[in-house]
Structure 1
Amino acid sequence: MKIIIFGGTGFVGLNLAEVLLARGHDVTLYDRADLPPSAGRALADHGARLKVVRGDITDAMGIDALIAKGVDAIVLGAAITAGDELERVSTARVLEVNVMAQIPILLAAIRHGVRRVVNLSSASAYGAAGQRFEILDEETPCDPVSFYAISKFTSERSVARHAELFGGDFLSVRLSAVFGPWERTGSVRDTPSLQFQILAAFGRGEPATVPGSGMKDWIYAPDAAEAVAVLLEAERPRHRLYNISCGAAWSALKWGEAFAALHPGLQCRSAAPGETTSIKLHGPDRAPLAVARMANEFGWRARFGCAESAAAMSGWWMKHRENV
């Protein structure tokens, strides 16, 4: 297929590009940001099957012209992943990019006969419901609180409503706490994973002191990318919304300890009471996402747990540690 990933040079976009290219698809990355040099080198063997287009997600005319050239599938991955600080200074921009900018893309997809659109949403859409339920499935009533969570939930409803009105084959996925290769912070992302922060401390030659256990149903980015690829390739998905998660909570602290054990001299530990640490937790604990829908319909389950992802990330880090 010919696939456009909006937000394609970002963290999740690059992982998805790697998976899709390996599965034989042609991929266009549309983003304001350049392709990181290390990623460009890693993807160079794919040649002309990978294209990078610089552009703003709000450029409706330019995006329409790009889609008009012929596209089989679109991934809506451009988003401002905002914590409290970024929300305070960019409230309108969060809603503009995460919701409103998608509408011209959806309409262009309908006009030009795009086969499928997958919207990358977030487990944050469950909001306060994450503290009221023991597990969160796709039918759990949502209670989004932050502007980021509100924007992701609204994007899901917008995508579904466009499909109902115009007959498009559009769906959304709720990604759990994603970490892994190509993660980085920037002007549109101020909530780095604990794993990213742990590796950043290692890169500075410091012990990684974690202010809590960091229990979440973490999902290794290549696993998340493979799940999205399955949905892009599926002939006829039965639902408009799918959770993507490892399905069970485990500790980022234990992950850091497992990573450090592979590199003599590195140390990851809990911060002592009152100890200052640069590593920050983002958001309250929440229940894990149910993954039965993806498993039952497509046979997909995450391959990387705590130890497996630490080992895989260790190999990647040794090659690309200048990106962390």
Structure 2
Amino acid sequence: MKILIAGGAGYIGGTVARILLSQGHAITVFDNLCHSRRSAVAENATFIEGDIANRPLIEETLREGRFDGVMNFAALIEAGESMKRPEIYFRNNTAATLMLLEAMLATGHDRLVFSSTAACYGEPEKTPILEDAKLQPTNPYGESKLLVEHMLRWMNLIHGFKYASLRYFNVAGAIDGYGEAHEPESHLIPLILDVALGKRSNIKIFGRDYPTKDGTCIRDYIHVRDLAEAHLLALAALSDTKSRLIYNIGNGQGFSVLEVVESVRRVTGRPIPVEECERRPGDPAVLVAGSAKIKAELGWTPKYAELDQIVASAWDWHQKRYA
């Protein structure tokens, strides 16, 4: 297949691009490199530098490419930042995606896999969270993604636009030769690994008074390769009979921040100093996925379900990254 990957120079988009290329698909990466660099684009992928908010450029790319499907990973992803600058999240995540959707409609492209988020749920009433849970984001980042889901539903109802919206939980780990390296970095596991390598003095824990077993936030961690496989299955499933798919993607297990710190200590054998800080606004206490739906409908099964497995793959890549 010929596939356009918007945001394909990022962590998840770049992983998906590499796996698709290894399977013989033709990949075009479309990325503005605002939080990445040219070297992150997969070898053998066609690269176009641009922003999906640039309607003429994305439309030209689609007309010339005639793709079998589009995957959209292009977005700002920092929930904490969104509580300070909500306007840039609605512009970059919501309005820019509308430009992509309009360009797809104008050029006859009607299959999209959308990178959504568990932040659409906000503070859940019960866990594990199922796809029919209330959608009540506690931060503008989650709201910006949920607004895209609303647009997609109407595009589907009115235009027959086929899409899969994948609500991720916490993504981590690495594949051979490629891993997580945000600029700036804000994700827990790579930050702790930086401490293990002596790149940071300690790891900050935001909040020790949550209603959880040890007072720290609990999250569901999914290996990036397992997440990539879910994207491939979702794209293949989009057809006239299955034209609107919404799935949670997670392990179904919750790990606290302190448990992740302990996992890194076990895997690396290094001391990890901790600094306790105040809560960050907008952080739900517990986010754990119920992924039974995608398992039943698409046959997806995570192959890297243990936290130490995920951390070990990230640690292997992280050391090579600085070598």
Q: Shared fold (TM-score greater than 0.5)?
A: yes
- Do 2:6 and 2:71's aligned partners in 1 also have CA atoms closer than 8 Å? yes
Alpha-carbon distance, 1:123 to partner: 0.2
- Write the letter of the residue equivalent to 2:195: A
Distance in 2 between the 1:303 and 1:197 partners? 24
Distance in 1 between the 2:91 and 2:245 partners? 23
Alpha-carbon distance, 1:262 to partner: 4.0
Check if 1:158 corresponds to 2:138.
Answer: no
- Structure 2 counterpart SS, 1:241: strand
Distance in 2 between the 1:302 and 1:281 partners? 31
Q: Which of 186, 195, 200 is the matching residue for 2:194?
A: 200
Match of 2:57 in 1: 62
- Do 1:119 and 1:159's aligned partners in 2 also have CA atoms closer than 8 Å? no
- Do 1:257 and 1:267's aligned partners in 2 also have CA atoms closer than 8 Å? no
1:163-185 deviations in Å (ceiling 9; x for gaps): 21111112211011122333233
- Do 1:194 and 1:214's aligned partners in 2 also have CA atoms closer than 8 Å? no
- Structure 1 counterpart SS, 2:116: strand
- CA gap of 1:247–1:17, structure 2 versus 1, over 3 A, is same
Q: Which runs of structure 2 are paired with 1:213-232 in the superposition (5 Å)?
A: 214-232=217-235
Q: Which runs of structure 2 are paired with 1:1-324 in the superposition (5 Å)?
A: 1-33=1-33, 36=37, 39=40, 43-44=42-43, 47=44, 50-69=45-64, 70-88=66-84, 90-128=85-123, 130=124, 132-181=125-174, 182-186=179-183, 192-204=186-198, 208-209=202-203, 211=205, 214-234=217-237, 236=239, 237=242, 239-264=244-269, 266-268=270-272, 271=274, 275=275, 283-304=283-304, 305-321=306-322
Alpha-carbon distance, 1:82 to partner: 3.0
- Do 2:111 and 2:163's aligned partners in 1 also have CA atoms closer than 8 Å? yes
| Greater share of residues in helix | 1
- Structure 1 counterpart SS, 2:4: strand
1:252-291 deviations in Å (ceiling 9; x for gaps): 5444434443444x1236x3xxx56799898222241110
Alpha-carbon distance, 1:235 to partner: 5.2
- Structure 1 counterpart SS, 2:67: coil
- CA gap of 1:27–1:253, structure 2 versus 1, over 3 A, is farther
Distance in 1 between the 2:182 and 2:133 partners? 31
- Do 1:94 and 1:151's aligned partners in 2 also have CA atoms closer than 8 Å? yes
- Do 1:171 and 1:239's aligned partners in 2 also have CA atoms closer than 8 Å? yes
- Structure 2 counterpart SS, 1:139: coil
Distance in 2 between the 1:153 and 1:281 partners? 19
- Structure 2 counterpart SS, 1:118: strand
- Structure 1 counterpart SS, 2:286: coil
Match of 2:213 in 1: none
Distance in 2 between the 1:303 and 1:252 partners? 22
1:42-96 deviations in Å (ceiling 9; x for gaps): x43xx3xx112111221000000000111111112111113334542x3222111
- Write the letter of the residue equivalent to 1:28: T
- Write the letter of the residue equivalent to 1:292: A
- Stretches of structure 2 that go unaligned for 5 or more consecutive residues are 209-215
- Write the letter of the residue equivalent to 2:248: N
> TM-score scaled to structure 1, two decimals?
0.84
- Do 2:173 and 2:311's aligned partners in 1 also have CA atoms closer than 8 Å? no
- Do 1:172 and 1:241's aligned partners in 2 also have CA atoms closer than 8 Å? yes
Alpha-carbon distance, 1:195 to partner: 0.5
> TM-score scaled to structure 2, two decimals?
0.84
- Structure 1 counterpart SS, 2:131: coil
Percent of pairs identical after alignment?
A: 25
- Does 105-114 or 14-23 show the bigger shift? 105-114
Distance in 2 between the 1:292 and 1:206 partners? 38
- Write the letter of the residue equivalent to 1:171: A
- CA gap of 1:95–1:210, structure 2 versus 1, over 3 A, is closer
Match of 2:211 in 1: none
- Write the letter of the residue equivalent to 1:15: T
